[in-house]
Structure 1
């Protein structure tokens, strides 16, 4: 597995003084723009805020309690929006898939540039819609925090440090990938390293 995937994790302990350049955030968002898209529809849209600009402040204002303690330490916040058409289940489903693909590519691009990216669902989509005039045919789905890890983890608030120090884990491959019948493992575990 590529190290950008195996080493990726969603940190919270960002350096509150670190910044991201316009060039780097443009590259990260452009990676999302180039994600695969169903039927070439390209439903994904981005609202981009850099720390200390009004967009960033407004994005911080829509965070829910769980994320409001750490996400403002991000160097950038990107609200990722997609199709909102409850009358067209196919477009809604594939719009959500396109959104996930865009976010995944942005996360990997951020990692490649030396940043950490943390996707969040913990924000108020109604408040986001109101704050940014998001059209009725789009829905804010993911808020992505992009930051630089704090150089000294002991400088972080205890709650943030404790959450970041938890071991990263996933269910075993045999419990999530099946062949022939649900529950029948498709693969043995991948080699370590």
Structure 2
């Protein structure tokens, strides 16, 4: 397994975070699931708009096949073994004060990302792993969940207890390890940035 060594002091939870693909055959309890959503609830939010939304299915329930079908095949083949799939959405527009006219919520993605980070952190605290995916069919998600136009689909997250690497298809086993990260200097700048 690749060692992750921070350049600067940070709590171990940050370098320990990665996105496994192998999930154990465990289930997720209502208490665990609601604990994840409770953590997301307390994320910072511009003007307290709280634009995040989480739709979920649990492995084996009546909604599971529909959620798995929204994933691209490369993700579906391993994510179908997770205990839960959570679709992360953000409300992009809300009614103006004293009006029914919709106005853009310019911080919807930032706030929803903060809520997802809280959800991940609580999952880690509970001994669970998560894997956020951009590999899904947006149209299928929108149809499945009847998503209104003023919402954006941000990701689908697999949640569960980590399984053994050997449970994955052989071509994925070598990828089942933490990835590296760019140095801090690659994405920060004092007063200016170098754009790539």
What is residue 25 of structure 1 aligned with on the other side?
33
What is residue 156 of structure 1 aligned with on the other side?
168
Question: Higher helix fraction: Structure 1 or Structure 2?
Answer: 1
What is residue 181 of structure 1 aligned with on the other side?
192
Residues 81-116 of structure 1 show CA distances to partners (whole Å, capped at 9, x for unaligned) of: 11234x98851x411111111111111110110000
What is residue 68 of structure 2 aligned with on the other side?
60
What is residue 151 of structure 2 aligned with on the other side?
138
Residues 132-154 of structure 1 show CA distances to partners (whole Å, capped at 9, x for unaligned) of: 1222221221111102111x322
Instruction: Tell me the number of residue pairs that the alignment of Structure 1 and Structure 2 aligns.
Output: 178
Change (3 A) 1:155 1:128: closer
Q: Which moved more, 1:98-107 or 1:171-180?
A: 171-180
TM-score by length of 2: 0.83
SS where residue 164 of structure 1 aligns?
A: coil
Deviating 4+ runs (over 3 angstroms): 87-90
Equivalent of 1:6 in 3, 12, 15: 15
Unaligned runs of 5+ in 1: 184-193
TM-score by length of 1: 0.85
SS where residue 70 of structure 1 aligns?
A: helix
CA shift for structure 1 position 13: 1.3
Q: What RMSD over aligned residues (CA atoms) do the two structures have, in Å?
A: 1.9
SS where residue 174 of structure 2 aligns?
A: helix
What is residue 69 of structure 1 aligned with on the other side?
77
Higher relative CO (CA 8 A, sep ≥ 6), structure 1 or 2?
2
1:102-121 map, 5 Å: 102-121=115-134
Equivalent of 1:47 in 27, 43, 55: 55
CA shift for structure 1 position 179: 0.9
Q: Following the alignment from structure 1 to structure 2, what is the Cα–Cα distance between the partners of residues 24 and 134?
A: 26
